[in-house]
Structure 1
Amino acid sequence: MKRIIAGIACCMLFGQFAQSQSVYSFQGLGSLNHQGMPNNVAQGEVGIGSPTIWHINSQNPANLIYNTFSTFQLGLMVDQRSFSGNDISGEGISGSATDGGLRFLGYSFPIMPGKWSSSFGILPYSSVNYNTFSDTDVPGTNGETKQRSDNRGEGGLTSLFWSNGFKIKDNFNVGIKASYVFGSISKESTIILYEDRRILVDGDSIDVQIQVANPVQYSQLQSYSDFNFLFGMSYRHKITDERFLNFGAVFSPKSPMNGNSELTLVRLSSSGSELGVPVDVGSRKIEFDLPRMVGFGASYQKLNHYTIGADFEFSGWSNAGSPETLYNNSFKIAVGGEFTPDYDNINTYWKRVKYAGGFNYQKLPYIVNDQALIDFGINFGASLPVSGFSSLDLAFKWGQLGKSSNGLIKETYYKIVIGTTMNDRWFIKRKYD
C-alpha cells in the first residue's frame, strides 16, 4: 500500500503525462500513444500474444491471468524530436523540441490466483503539442494581401482503465478492459493580414511587410469524455515443460466519444496585447468516433530465458473520426523479444538482466497533403533486477515520422523510458504470527 501511495504522489508531483511535441498532432485527437508498459516499449511494442508473469500486460487483458504477483509499474519518458522539410517557397525548415514527464502507471493483482487477475492504471491516450506557422494569399486580392497564421495546440486525452483476465479452461483465457477516456484539447490561431510593399529609405529601395488590420486570435477548447471497451483472448500451447507457443487476439468495437467545443475570439494590438474582452462565439456538442480495432499476436517462449513475438493491429478509421475530416484505415506491425542469459545465476549480475529489442512499422490514420503518414521505430532496452522479484526497466526508441518531401515535415525522434516494476505477494493471510 505504501508503494501505491508513492505512485499516486508521483502523479501529483508531475501533474500531468508527458506530451510529445509533433507538428502532426493538430490532426484529430492528436498523436495516438502506445498503450503498453515500459517493458513492451523495449520489445518493439509487442504484447498481444506475449504473456509474462513479471510485468502488467495492458495490451491484452486475457494475459493478466499469468500475473501471480501483485505488480506496480511506474515509468517516465523523455521525448526529443528534430524537424526538417521545406515550406511552399522551397525554403528549408528545421527545428527541435524536448519534452518529458510521467508516462506509465499501473497496478495488477491476482484475485483468484491462476483463475482471475485484475489491474487498473492510467495511460495517455493521445497527445497534442504543436506550434506551426503558415502564409497564404487572401482570396480575391490577386496576391497583394497575405494571411499569416500562428497555430498552437496543447492537451490530449487520458485513459483510465480497469482490466480483468479469466481462465476458462486449461491454457485458454479471456479478458475485458474498460477504459474511461477523457481530456481536453486547446487550439489557438492568431491571424495577421499584411501586404508586401517596397519603400524608399535614404534613397534605397527595400521590401517591407505592412500590417493592414489588427490581428485576430481564435481559441477553441474541445473537451471529451466517454467509455471504451477492449475484449481479449489468449491460448498457450505447451511444447515441453519450459517451451510454449502463445497466441492472443483483441477486439475493440467502434465507440463514440461525446464532447463539447467552445470558440472565442479577441482582437489584438500590434504588440500582441488584447483589445477589449474576448467574444464568446458559442459552444456546441461534438462527437468523435473511436475506430473498431482488431489485433493478433503470437510468440515463442522458453520460460525465464527468452521470448520472440510479433503483433499485428488494424483500425477502421475510414468509418470513424469526425464527420468533417477524412481518415485512412491504419495498421501496425510490431516484432520483438527479450533474452535472459542465465536467470538463476547468483554470481554474475548481468546474466540475470533481461535484454530486449524490436521494431515497429505503423501507417497512421491522418492524411496530410493527400498523403498517408508512416511511423517507423527501432526499440531496445533492459530490465535490471533489484530487490526480490522487482526490476528497473529501461527502454530506448529511435523513430522517424513523415518525410521531408511533397510538402511534409520529417520528424526524427528519440524516446528514453525509465520505469520501475515492483513485484510482491500482497494480501496473503498470515498463517503464523
Structure 2
Amino acid sequence: MIKNILVIILLCISVSLLAQRTSSSPYSYFGIGDEFSSRTVEQNSMGGIGVAFSHYKYLNFTNPAAYANLRYTTYSFGALNKDLSVKTASSNQSSTSTNLSYIAFAFPIGKTAGFSFSMQPVSSVGYSLTNSRVEAGITQELNFFSGNGGVNRFSGSFGIQVYKGLSLGIEADFNFGNVENSIINQKRDVALATKYIETSKVRGGSVKFGAQYLKELKDGLLLNVGATAKLGNDLTVTGENYLYSLVLSGSGGESPRDTLNLGDQNNDGIPDNIIDGKFTLPLKSTFGVGLGKTDKWYAGVEYETQNAISTSGLLANVNGAYRYGNSNRISLGGYFLPKVNSISSYWERVTYRAGVRYENTGLLADGSGNNTNFTQINDFGITFGLGLPLKRLSNVNLGFEYGKRGTMQNNLIEETYFNFRLSLSLTDNWFVKRKID
C-alpha cells in the first residue's frame, strides 16, 4: 500500500515537472528546440547504448523488443540536472536547469512478452539571444530573439519472443507541445521598435519496430544483437503570428502600440498570420551488438543514423539561419557488477557503468549572417554511473556526463555541460498467485 501511494505521489509530481520544464541552451533556438535523450539513466550512463541490451528488470527506451525479457513489474522515474557553460569568441555565460527525464511503467505478460508505458520530454525551448549591426563604431540596429515551451510524448511499447533467442517489438508514440518564439527589432533614431511573435502547437505520432537476438556461447557468455527502425513521420506546426510596434523602456519593459496587418502577401488565400507547417523526420535506424554475462558484466557498441530533417513554417528558419544534414551517432559502453548476491559488502552489489559517445547532430548553423557559411554541430560526451541496490530488486541509479557541443568557429557557440541524472526504479512481482502452506 505504501509503495502504491508513493507511486501516485511521484506521478503527480512528474506530470507537474513536465509542464514546468525549462531549457537554457542557445541551440534550443533551432527547430522545435533542444532535444532530450530518450534513454533511461542506466542507458545514458553506458554512453547511450541499449538497442542490443535486455535485462529481466531494467527498462529500455531504445528497443521495444527488449521487453520480451522483462520478468518484473517496474515503475521508474528519472530526472536531469544540467550545468551549462556557453562560450563565444567574446563572452562566457553559465546556467543550471533541472527537469523530469521520464516517468515509466512496465510489466511482463506471461513468460515471453512485456509492455511498457512512458511519458517523456522530446525537446525544450528556452533561449534569449541578441544580435547587433555596428557601423563606424555605432550600433545601428539591435535584434532580440527569445523563445520558450517544448514538446512532450506519450509512448507504449510491446515486445515478444517469437522464437528461441529472437524477440520482436513495436513502439507507438504521440508527440504534443506548445512553442512561442519572438523577435524584437530596434533601429537607431527610430522611436518605435517592432516585435514579431509566433505561438504554435506541435502535434504528431510515430512508430518504431525493433528486433533482438540472444545467443548463448561457451562459459555462460551471451551475444546480443539488436536493431530498430523508427519510421519517418511529420510533426505538424499550427498556430498564429503577429507583428506590432512598441516602445522599449531602458529597463527592458515593453509598451505595445499598433498591431500591423500581415494580410495575404503570398496570395494563397490564407492570412499570413496563420501558421501551417511541419517538421519532417525521416527513417531513423539503430544497430548494436554486445557481449556479456547476466548480472556480471556487459560491453556493447551502437550506431545510429538518420537522413536530413526538413522543416517548414518554423520561425527560427525564416532567415535561413540553419539547415539540416544527415546525422549519426556511435556509442560504446557497458557495466560491471562484482557480486550480485554479496552479503559481506554492499559495494560488491553496486553496478558500475561507463561509456562514451560521439554524435553528428545533423544541425548546420550559419553564424555569419549571410546564409552561406554553415557549420556542422557535433556533440561528444563521456559518461559513468552507479546502480545502488535497495530492498529486493529496486534500485537508485546515478548518472554523470561531461560533454561538449558546438564550436566557436564562424561566430558560433560552444557549450560545455555536466549532466547529473537520477532515477528511482521500484520493482515488484505482479500477477503471481500466492502459495499457502
TM norm. shorter chain > 0.5 = yes
Percent identity reads 27
Give the one of 266, 278, 292 matched to 1:301.
292
Instruction: Report the 3-state secondary structure (helix = DSSP H, G, I; strand = E; otherwise coil) of the residue aligned with 1:213.
Output: coil
Structure 2 residue 314 is the aligned partner of structure 1 residue 314: no
What do the CA deviations read for 1:40-85 (whole angstroms, capped 9, x no partner)? Answer: 1111111111112231111100011111000111011111111111
Check conservation: 2:18, 2:121, Cα contact below 8 A: no
Please show how residues 118-267 of structure 1 align to structure 2 within 5 Å: 118-136=115-133, 146-194=140-188, 211-240=189-218, 242-267=220-245
Shift of 1:266: 3.0
Query: How many matched pairs?
Result: 407
Whether 2:287 is the aligned partner of 1:290: answer: no
RMSD over equivalenced CA pairs, Å: 2.1
The separation in 2 between residues aligned to 1:137 and 1:359, in whole angstroms, is 43
Query: What SS does structure 1 have at the residue aligned with 2:286?
Result: strand
Question: Which deviates further from its counterpart, 375-384 or 48-57?
Answer: 48-57
Alpha-carbon distance between aligned partners in 1 of 2:219 and 2:429, rounded to the nearest angstrom: 24
Report the AA paired with residue 109 of structure 2.
I
Distance across 1 between alignment mates of 2:21 and 2:336: 29
Residue 87 (structure 2) aligns with: 84
Match of 2:101 among 100, 103, 109: 103
Is there any run of 5+ residues in structure 1 with no aligned partner, and where? 87-91, 195-210
Residue 53, structure 1, aligned to residue 56, structure 2: yes
CA distance in 2, matches of 1:167, 1:186: 44
User: CA 1:34–1:54 in structure 2 vs 1: closer, same or farther (change >3 Å)?
Assistant: same
Name the residue aligned to 1:204: none
**Residues 232 and 281 in structure 2, CA contact (< 8 A), matched pair in contact too:** yes
- How does 1:259-408 map onto structure 2 within 5 Å? 259-271=237-249, 272-276=253-257, 281=262, 282-317=273-308, 320-322=310-312, 326-369=323-366, 370-408=374-412
Structure 2: distance between partners of 1:105 and 1:78: 16
Q: Distance in 2 between matches of 1:73 and 1:277?
A: 51
CA 1:94–1:230 in structure 2 vs 1: closer, same or farther (change >3 Å)?
same
Which amino acid counterpart does residue 27 of structure 1 have in structure 2? Answer: F
Change (3 A) 1:304 1:276: same
Structure 2 unaligned regions, length at least 5 = 263-272, 367-373
- Give the counterpart letter for 1:37 in structure 2: T
Deviation at 1:7, TM superposition (A): 2.8
Larger CA deviation: 414-423 vs 402-411: 402-411
Contact 2:70 2:113 (C-alpha < 8 Å) held by counterparts: no
Change (3 A) 1:98 1:297: same
Q: Secondary structure at the match of 1:304?
A: coil
> 2:23 pairs with 16, 20, 41, which one?
20
SS at match of 2:312: coil
Letter in 1 for 2:98: G
Q: 2:403·2:418 contact (CA, 8 Å) conserved in 1? A: yes
The SS at the match of 1:68 is coil
Q: Which AA in structure 2 matches 1:105?
A: I
- Paired AA for residue 93 in structure 1: S
Q: CA, structure 1 residues 241+160, in 2 after alignment: closer, same or farther (shift >3 Å)?
A: farther
Q: Which of 38, 43, 49 is matched with 1:35 structurally? A: 38
